[in-house]
A and B are shown apart, each in its own frame.
Chain A
Amino acid sequence: DTEVTQTPKHLVMGMTNKKSLKCEQHMGHRAMYWYKQKAKKPPELMFVYSYEKLSINESVPSRFSPECPNSSLLNLHLHALQPEDSALYLCASSQGGYNEQFFGPGTRLTVL
């Protein structure tokens, strides 16, 4: 299984809502990533987990809260988002080192 899955595919939320994005991989990868991608722009790294521990936080606002419950799952908890947070949120995983990252299809988030 060389697939990274993400749910939901689409999410619309108000600025006062709390929601979560989910990501799952069963490739035995020990590194998992969250990216944010605006239209026609490259992905921007948000968080990196290595062996289920947060290893990189790219100065992301606290309204985004990552969680890695186990080696296969990665969540992104959302609270009090702003309209400018609307974007495609991508999850990825890798074996680490300089191996390629495998990306999920993304969650299209719209904040009203």
Chain B
Amino acid sequence: AQSVAQPEDQVNVAEGNPLTVKCTYSVSGNPYLFWYVQYPNRGLQFLLKYITGDNLVKGSYGFEAEFNKSQTSFHLKKPSALVSDSALYFCAVSVTNTGTASKLTFGTGTRLQVTL
């Protein structure tokens, strides 16, 4: 069975400092990995994905993620955090491809708190 793990319930960082939100995965076959962000009482917003190719993936709002096959990790990073980045972040893996549809399995989420 495919799964993702987010080992940190919360990450605290000061504004202007770099941030990392960790994600590790377990899949059989090629991993298809995603990061989403959720603000309070809102739906999920897509940040970036890794399908194949370059291990460093750039996404929305200055976020990037590094795919590491040997460590089975897909950590989310940003060089300089903003207070407005404070939100709940989910890592996800696409586990099946039933025709046109894919099935996402989410990690438990990491709350990012950025303070002044």
Q: Interface residues, chain A, CB within 8 Å of chain B?
A: 4, 6, 30-31, 33, 40-43, 45, 48-51, 55-56, 88, 90, 92, 94-106, 108
Judged by a CB distance under 8 angstroms, whether B22 is at the interface is no
Contact of B43 with A50 in the complex, beta carbons under 8 Å: no
Closest 8 CB pairs of A and B: A96-B100, A42-B106, A103-B43, A31-B101, A50-B101, A103-B44, A98-B32, A100-B46
Judged by a CB distance under 8 angstroms, whether B26 is at the interface is no
Question: Known contacts being A56-B101, A96-B101, is A105 close to B106, with CB within 8 Å?
Answer: no
Chain B interface size band reads: 20 to 34
Question: Known contacts being A42-B90, A103-B45, A105-B42, is A55 close to B99, with CB within 8 Å?
Answer: yes
| CA–CA, A100 and B34, complex, Å | 8
Partner of B98, one of A50, A101, A102: A50
